[in-house]
Structure 1
Amino acid sequence: MNKQVLVIGGGPAGMAAAGKLQDFGFHVVLIEKQAEIGGHLNKWYKVFPDFTEASEITANLKAGLGNTRILNNTTVTEIQGSAPNFQVTTSTGEKIEVAAILVSTGYKHFDATLKEEYGYGIYDNCINSVELDAMLKTKTVKTRDGKLPKKVAMIHCVGSRDEKVNNNYCSRVCCTNAIKVAIEVKEQIPDCEIYCLYMDIRVFGRGYEELYRTSQQEFGVQFLRGRLSEASEKKDGSLLLRLEDTLTAKPMRLTVDLLVLMVGMEGNSELAEVAGLSLGCDRFYATSHLQYSNNHSDRAGIFLAGAATGPKAIMESITDGRSAAAEIASFLASNPANLTANMNGQAVTKMAASLK
């Protein structure tokens, strides 16, 4: 039996899956297109809701990789065959034979330049949430002329729940992330006024509602249910926001020193053609069944995990990666042609039995 499993994508889900597959006795090859595994975690400062440092999570997941073979700066160019005999060709020309494949390629951030009315890429003091997180990490939250901002506005749902950019879905984490970074800005600049402009507050996870309450009661973050129609730059570099208060249906104006666009998630579908995978209506990878096969693709032997199938928080991606590893173990153990007394077979068989 081929004892090797390929994991494509070295973010939280991919690393979690690779570590668990190692525990089950599989040989794992992890392919990552960037120079280093870690995914978006490598860019972030802290994660919600408990402000754990992103670097701590990355280090913890890396520690569990064991003897995983990691191929950085590499992509998959071709997948031939079928389970349990896939032949995979990489961008370096290497050919790898594997029994199963996990696609955990994550997501990409919405391109905020597509919302021209907000001024991203036009006005110096309009930034996105990724750039703000980098500033928080280095404790350099400043306007482009090097001054500490006195007023900051954060716009929720940029590129999400927006028919104009063909993204009708909710990115799920933007509201809570906005609350988290608002608190972090207040911690670094206590006298800064923070305004969160939202469509609806969607804080669904454990500790999220408490974080929302804390941001208001302890840090004075102000939440405005409003729709930004336009941002324009004033002579001093500050930004004038024209918006509608959707609770009162009245127009509002707000001048801020820094405008932060909380960009949503978009599907990373570059492997769809190579792997023969279909996409959902949201352009993330489609699973074989929404209710009970969320880690299965519609191609036998190719599995899915993390934000590859839709927006997820870090803790969800890690759990989903480990779930996918268990599904792979069950899939390979349930096929009589794949059973073996070796390869830590007892662990695999026990895991398969526990899932039935």
Structure 2
Amino acid sequence: MTQERILVIGGGVAGMQAAAALREEGFEPFIIEKEKAAGGHVARWDRLFPTQLRAQEVIDRLSAGAEGIGSATGCEIVSVLPEADGVTAIAADGQRFEGRAAVVATGFDLFDARFKEEYGYGMYENVVTSAELERMFREGRVAMRSGEAPKRVAILHCVGSRDEKVGQNHCSKVCCITGIKQAIELTEAVPGVQVTNFYMDLRAFGNGYEELYRRSQVEHGVTYVRGRISEAGETLDKRIQLKVEDTLVGRPLRLTVDMLVLLVGMRAPGCCSSFGLPTQENGFFAPRDPYVETVASPVRGIYLAGTATGPKTIGETVNEALAVARRIKRDLAK
């Protein structure tokens, strides 16, 4: 076994930053990524909140920091085992990777909106997810399936978050600000479009978030309605008819839009149940201590970073990746 090798499971933001930081600490990091290329979810986004920085700029910086680090792509890890002198990670195809320690940076999965049948995702052609809308932004054209630009768009918050019916009770933390960001970008991409956001509670907690929320209303004319969409139906001309209850005024609403965007939340990936590590009530990996040992798992030699332990922003993810490198150096020096 290479004594100084540290396995980094996951090649997204947390994985790339952790690998770069581990190398700076004198270790030999090795990234194992299940997809064909590193970058994670951020690599599929156009612009990022709250500054609307291009996501590719973040990926480019992280990639530059991890340049030259060994990796295996297209390789899905199914279990991580502690050993007497380190850890062993086992891939779905039987490959075994050994190291002094492992950083689990496996990220999150997006909630499958088909489980919310009342919104018609997968049945109605102009019901899309926030991830699909982001792809339209990247491609430079927002359009309905017919090719026409939408004139009226509804954005629904908390799809697959704070929802007992689908077993996703937790808040996904970034959906509110993503909905605000995407509403602004819709008005920039489609001049004259009317955008309405339907929300349970607006949680604009971060630096610049409240300012972005206010700007979306004042400068871009975005409307916000506190309420839930109870049902979505498709009209003969493929528009989406919505039944909503405005919970602020206590009355039902009906409106028809050209496109419905579902802000899908973060859910724990399947590996959280297969790795053999303790998990939290929300399904994500559990840290050793949620206050003072947030990047250490309860299992010796196995560490956690980023959204492996739950929803986080990119900045929080980067900070955890830096912290985990320092923690590993401290522990292995004992």
TM-score between both structures, scaled by the size of structure 1: 0.91
After superposition, give the CA deviation of every residue in 1:229-258 in whole Å (9 maximum; x if it has no partner). Answer: 001111111111001000011000111000
Counterpart for residue 259 of structure 1? 260
Contact 1:9 1:106 in 2 (8 A): yes
Aligned residues of 1:24 and 1:329 also touching (Cα < 8 A): yes
Hey, what does 2:290 align to over in structure 1?
Answer: 290
Distance of 2:303 and 2:235 partners within structure 1: 51
Question: Which residue in 1 is equivalent to 2:170?
Answer: 169
CA 1:5–1:246 in structure 2 vs 1: closer, same or farther (change >3 Å)? Answer: same
In 2, are the aligned partners of 1:83 and 1:99 still within 8 Å (CA)? no
Query: Which consecutive unaligned segments of at least 5 residues does structure 2 have?
Result: none
Partner of 1:187: 188
Please tell me the residue identity of whatever aligns with 1:310. G
Aligned to 1:63: 64
2:78–2:271 contact (8 Å) kept in structure 1: no
Matched position secondary structure for 1:241? strand
**22-31 vs 81-90, which deviates more?**
81-90
Deviations 1:124-152 (A, max 9, x none): 10000000000011122111111110000
**Secondary structure at 2:271 match in 1:** coil
CA contact (8 A) 1:45 1:134 kept: yes
- Any conservation in 2 of the 1:83–1:100 contact (CA below 8 Å)? no
1:114–1:328: structure 2 CA closer, same or farther, 3 Å change rule?
same
SS of corresponding position for 1:319: helix
Match runs of 1:115-264 below 5 Å: 115-264=116-265
Shift in Å at residue 25 of structure 1?
Answer: 0.8
Work out whether 1:108 is the aligned partner of 2:105: no
Per the alignment, residue 324 of structure 2 pairs with 324
TM-score under structure 2 normalisation? 0.96
| Paired residue secondary structure (2:225) | strand
Find the aligned partners of 1:45 and 1:282 in 2 and give their Cα distance.
28
Give the distance between the partners of 1:207 and 1:330, measured in 2 at CA. 35
Pair 283,79 (structure 1): closer, same or farther in 2 beyond 3 Å: closer
Contact 2:82–2:300 (CA under 8 A) maintained in structure 1: no
How many residues are paired up?
333
Q: Greater CA radius of gyration, 1 or 2?
A: 1
CA–CA separation in structure 2 for the residues paired with 1:239 and 1:273: 40
Give the distance between the partners of 1:331 and 1:151, measured in 2 at CA: 55
Superposed displacement of residue 92, structure 1: 5.0
Amino acid at match of 1:219: H
Aligned position for 2:299: 299
**Which residue of structure 2 aligns with residue 353 of structure 1?**
none
Counterpart residue identity of residue 44, structure 2? K
Task: After superposition, give the CA deviation of every residue in 1:267-318 in whole Å (9 maximum; x if it has no partner).
Answer: 11415433x2011000011111111111111101100111110011112111
The residue aligned with 1:270 is: 271
2:78 and 2:245 map into 1 onto residues whose CA distance is: 48
The percent of aligned pairs where both chains have the same amino acid is 44
Contact 2:111 2:265 survives alignment (8 Å): yes
1:70, distance to aligned residue in structure 2 (A): 1.1
Superposed displacement of residue 97, structure 1: 2.4
How far apart in 2 are the matches of 1:270 and 1:24?
28
